[in-house]
A and B are shown apart, each in its own frame.
Chain A
């Protein structure tokens, strides 16, 4: 019985650690907080079912979670027959972290600005940059999620960063 409890606790630890990241990953693709949360819940249910039924060995749990989330988003858009875009207003809603309204407003503005920049990139580049720099995934994990090689991901990241930097510079010039 103790082992069963341990197994459940380990899965719940996965939920505590990755639920925010999976929610963001989905939100940037569906641009609707309600839908994003529904799909996040589905993602954890499906992952638990997979682990519980022991259908097939999982070599990287984090990559597995993201892959399930990505497939759920694909199914969602297939049903809608639309393509993913980023709705900045919907996505930039920032969690209330206490009473510091000013801090929250600044964060929200910054988030909106970054999302605006990211909107200029193709979806794949957007995914890679947010997985790497927002959620801190390793290149190896991103490679496992996207099905590309580690080196290809490194090169893609570098190019996407350069593009984003040039967009940021253009935006700053226009602002000033």
Chain B
């Protein structure tokens, strides 16, 4: 479903006419300036924040009520998995915990922790009952949502992005390991048609959120490269190194001589994507060496996407060829059977 989400994101390019927008801005600004002179001395944000102050207190009261009146209902719900009666209570408790968390960093950390929980649930679902596809699929969406919420908190806040970069990196790395393990388990089950693709989407989602937060962290205008945290520089380096490694591996795989009948193994459409990926990763390396970490990361992300695109196309064509071969073999066998029967 990541593709659909990315496509929805593209609609951001739809915007009002820039000159009209600027004209209205001038008009609005003069009206605001004129009218605000007659207002009581009060900040819009301060006004909003004052009314918001009661929200955490209310949420805290709800948690106390939920835990207190439920005689351990909330506690019992903590070990539930999707589909169980108290699972909704578990999710509601998590939301309340986010609501009362002090500050954006604490909220982002909680979202990451809850994302890890969703993965634990998915693993449990697969182990317990073969993983009812709908439940696993729904929990995967919830997992991606938790990562989205965590990233969204840092989107306009480079300082926060810098603060959570190490944690999000570590967490998503562990998530990717779990997702690989779960994919292996799902592969062994015949009833999970399409689930592998969804797990692969979730893997890419984890990778992209890590990249997105790092990208924001590198955007902090008050932090020139010279004083960037070594962790962030290191992450930026590891990114291009890992993509470069993958590209070389793919290149090596392509260099293996193939049987004449399989010369179409490298899909023609993928040659451009793969060559561009090689160029991009070269640029990423140069940029990083020049201390342009953000640009380096941008090129690394592009290179990885191009490489994945080439890989997917090749795999798709390979699968298609295998299907065709199997079909031909089956037809051949059927013909032989018919001949034997006629004789």
Interface on A for B, CB 8 Å cutoff? 1, 3-8, 10-12, 14-16, 19-20, 23-24, 27, 33, 36-37, 40-41, 44-45, 48, 51-52, 54, 57-61, 91-97, 107, 110-111, 113-115, 117-118, 129-130, 132-136, 138-139, 150-151, 154, 157-158, 161-162, 164-165, 168
Contacts and interface: CB of A to CB of B under 8 A. Distances in A.
A41 B20 CA distance: 10
A1 B10 CA distance: 42
Interface string B63-86: 000000000000000000000000
B168 to A, nearest CB: 17
Question: Chain A interface mostly helix, strand, loop or mixed?
Answer: helix
Contacts, number: 156
Question: Chain B interface mostly helix, strand, loop or mixed?
Answer: helix
A54 B51 contact: no
Nearest to A134: B11
B51 A40 contact: no
B39 A20 contact: no
Contacts of A134: 8-9, 11-12
A133 B5 CA distance: 6
Given A15-B28, A136-B155, A164-B4, A54 B145 contact: no
A92 B36 contact: no
Nearest to A131: B8
Nearest to A27: B14
B39 to A, nearest CB: 6
B4 A151 contact: no
Interface residues of B, number: 53
Given A136-B155, A151-B91, A111 B4 contact: no
Contact of B11 (A5, A11, A97, A130): A130
B44 A20 contact: no
Nearest to A92: B14
Given A97-B13, A164-B4, 9 more contacts: A4-B39, A5-B36, A10-B43, A12-B29, A19-B16, A107-B13, A110-B10, A114-B10, A133-B4
A58 B45 CA distance: 10
Given A12-B32, A113-B7, A6 B43 contact: yes
Interface in B3-61: 3-5, 7-18, 20-21, 24-25, 28-29, 31-33, 35-37, 39-45, 47-48, 50-52, 55
